[in-house]
Structure 1
Amino acid sequence: MPIALITGCSSGIGRALADAFKATGYEVWATARRPEDVAALSAAGFIAVRLDVNDSLALEQLAASLAHGGLDVLINNAGYGAMGPLLDGGVEAMQRQFETNVFSVVGVTRALFPALRRNKGLVINIGSVSGVLVTPFAGAYCASKAAVHALCDALRLELAPFGMQVMEVQPGAIASSFARNASDQAEQLINEQSPWWPLREGIRARARASQDNPTPATDFAADVLKAAQQANPPRLLRLGNGSRALPLLAQWLPKGLLDKVLSKRFGLNTSL
């Protein structure tokens, strides 16, 4: 039985991926941070593991558990979206964003490398089209996903000599709790002392943007599974509403015109 380990399985994309792989016959190790989510995953028949992807000791323990059976598929899915003006969040917010969305990709993959090497496994990293089309009020998140794209390119080349493959998935709008969590993050940052306080509705609009006509998470997971089972999985897989159109806008629309479109969309076409 092939083994898959998926991070961030409490809901949304992660849980849909866990369900899809399990239904196809994989032994799925599903991780989450909160005890109640781990309990729910266990009750659903997964090998549920409580894991903070930035906890090096927990990663060592997880690697030891997989040492004998190896690992066929690793999906680095854990992450979140920090919303709000870059200068309001500052360096501290950037550090938190990169720790979860970027550093953990390296940390988890490094810890599980021996198990992956044993089975010549596949590493799937969940990026975002936001790493291609950068939008205001999501600068930290967009930067983190652009970094994931760069890491995928490097890892694909570096893991190839071991018979391992890397696939990057760039979702567009996928039905999940992302928008709710992003909105919660934004509300923690929005305050009357911010120079961007008059533009707070634009910040809120950006936090909700990921749920504009979203693709069902089950459809997304089915397509990821199908690609993962190919002998040569694609290097880059774009799925969900906007996943193809938005990168094309970023590539072909003149930068000045794109700036105007985004400024109007998020209320930045004004003077403060």
Structure 2
Amino acid sequence: AVFITGCDSGLGYSLALHCCSSSGLTVFAGLLEPESPALNFLRGVAEESGRLHFVPLDVTRGESVNAAVEHVSAKLKELDLHLIGVINNAGVMVFGEYEWLTDGLIEKQLDVNLRGTMRLTRQLMPLIRQHRSRVINVTSHCGLSALPGLSVYCATKAALNSWSDALRMELKKFGVHVVKFVPGKFLVVPELCMRRDLMLSSILYA
């Protein structure tokens, strides 16, 4: 089985479909929005395959993370499954020069892209050690080469890269691999930009 965050749309949605339909894996799909547009189609896949399980998850909230981990842990035991991987995919990007970003928009990116990944991984650590799960952190080329208008996003991904490198060394003794996955460009990235109108309003009227 594999646990994937940020499956409401975009990369996470595609990964959930691929792992379930093409790879034959059982997928625990973390969803932020209980009625996201992706859910209708994913429900069909879940009913047909029996291998797709939805997990309500807001990586910025500790209680949500704890509940998600408890749910996944219970399902693994119930279905006698091996957790082969955790894909930390949830992310948010805000375009705008740093001076114009509100504290809320800065904190949101830090909390989702960096703290959220750390928060979930820490709570999953007993399962990760037990199953020797592969931890896959979705980073970005922005963490390797900074771009104007994306200063905070770049900073979160650069920090995620460094954290992943250190975590890899820490978990090596348990036989756990930590991987940084840098995806290419997307024609559509709704999970990153889905709230751009709301974000723009908060900048303009702060």
Q: Deviations over 1:38-90 (max 9, x none)?
A: 74333321201111112212222222223334521100000110111111114
> Unaligned regions of 5+ residues in structure 1, if any?
195-272
* Whole-angstrom CA distance in 2 between matches of 1:72 and 1:168: 16
Deviation (angstroms), 1:185: 5.8
Deviation (angstroms), 1:102: 0.2
* Whole-angstrom CA distance in 1 between matches of 2:195 and 2:156: 15
For residues 162 and 113 of structure 1, do their structure 2 counterparts lie closer, same or farther at Cα, with a shift above 3 Å needed?
A: same
Deviation (angstroms), 1:121: 0.5
Paired letter, 1:167: V
**Corresponding position: 1:42 with 2:48:** no
- How does the TM-score come out when normalised to structure 1? 0.64
Paired letter, 1:10: D
For residues 117 and 144 of structure 1, do their structure 2 counterparts lie closer, same or farther at Cα, with a shift above 3 Å needed?
A: same
Matches within 5 A, 1:63-142: 63-67=69-73, 68=77, 69-142=81-154
Q: Percent identity?
A: 30
**Corresponding position: 1:29 with 2:32:** no
For residues 39 and 190 of structure 1, do their structure 2 counterparts lie closer, same or farther at Cα, with a shift above 3 Å needed?
A: closer
Q: Deviations over 1:180-238 (max 9, x none)?
A: 437536633564x89xxxxxxxxxxxxxxxxxxxxxxxxxxxxxxxxxxxxxxxxxxxx
Contact 1:70 1:115 in 2 (8 A): no
**Corresponding position: 1:5 with 2:6:** no
Paired letter, 2:126: P
Matches within 5 A, 1:200-219: none
Contact 1:84 1:189 in 2 (8 A): no
Specify the alignment match of 2:194 in structure 1. Answer: 181
Deviation (angstroms), 1:10: 1.0
Paired letter, 2:56: R
Specify the alignment match of 2:63 in structure 1. Answer: 57
Quote the RMSD (CA, aligned, Å): 2.2
**What is the count of residue pairs matched by the alignment?**
191
Deviation (angstroms), 1:155: 0.9
> Unaligned regions of 5+ residues in structure 2, if any?
47-51
Deviation (angstroms), 1:99: 0.2
SS across alignment from 1:29: strand
* Whole-angstrom CA distance in 1 between matches of 2:199 and 2:70: 38
Contact 1:84 1:186 in 2 (8 A): no
For residues 143 and 39 of structure 1, do their structure 2 counterparts lie closer, same or farther at Cα, with a shift above 3 Å needed?
A: same
